[in-house]
Amino acid sequence: MNDRTTLRRYPDRGSHDRETIDAIFREALICHVGFTDDEGRPIVIPTIHALVGDTLYLHGSVASRMLRTLREGSDVCINVAIVDGLVMARSHFNHSMNYRSVVVFGTTRLVDDPAEKQVAFEAIAEHVAPGRWDDARQPTEVEDRQTMVVAVSLDEASAKMRTGGPHDDEADHDLDVWAGVVPVKTTFGTPIADPDAIRDVELPGYLREYRRPSS
């Protein structure tokens, strides 16, 4: 923890525990990457991520502005946020959300070592759908060259979570207003086979039973 990752409002909701941070990253399908573009303006881009040990990997087309900027070693701020509930209080002021979120500060590093790049490719595929890496065709050399990978260390990271019901003012408890929490859950539908498929391939179990780690 340092000055930048010190939680100010409701610090009791915060954590710098790596297990907590990792679990939130593993649960979230995407993160948002904030950086400064080549004209000095702030920009935030949503993208897929994967965590391997202390390293967060991001990937994309070599033509992407985000990747072209980050390859030079940029300062970034990365966030993931998962909404777990809508907290309805008796007063508008005390409405809130239940959530799990992480903020990471770091400097990006271009991954040009072929072995590390391969680790990142596999981690990203497995982050989205565990079991997919061994199932689908592996990247060709051309596809590899068309894809850039950057890494960010998790040295400067914080988590913040809110759980529980509304925190209403004592005087408001007597109001004739419903209060409580509407739980929010991510659910996944029945997979739909590609209509252009020329082979009848059985749906793999890892997609039939698809769920995120905590769902």
Ligand X SMILES: Cc1cc2nc3c(=O)[nH]c(=O)nc-3n(C[C@H](O)[C@H](O)[C@H](O)COP(=O)(O)OP(=O)(O)OC[C@H]3O[C@@H](n4cnc5c(N)ncnc54)[C@H](O)[C@@H]3O)c2cc1C
User: In the beta sheet, which residues pair with residue 60?
Assistant: 148
Interface with ligand X, residue 102, by CB under 6 A: yes
User: In the beta sheet, which residues pair with residue 85?
Assistant: 98, 183
Nearest distance in Å: CB 7, ligand X: 4
Of 28, 58, 119, 159, the one binding ligand X (CB under 6 A) is 159
The binding track of 54-83 with respect to ligand X, each residue x by CB under 6 A or -, is: ---------------------------x-x
Interface with ligand X, residue 147, by CB under 6 A: no
Residue 155 carries which side chain, given as an amino acid letter?
D
Of 47, 64, 101, 153, the one binding ligand X (CB under 6 A) is 101
Contact 104, 78 (CB under 8 A): yes
Nearest distance in Å: CB 184, ligand X: 10
Q: What is the DSSP string of 77-138?
A: EEEEEEEEEEEE-SSGGG-EEEEEEEEEEEE-EE---HHHHHHHHHHHHHHHSTTHHHHSPP
Please report where in the chains the tokens 């500060």 appear, as a residue. 105
14 vs 60, beta carbon nearer ligand X = 14
- Note the residues at the interface with ligand X (CB under 6 A): 4-9, 81, 83, 97, 99, 101-103, 158-160
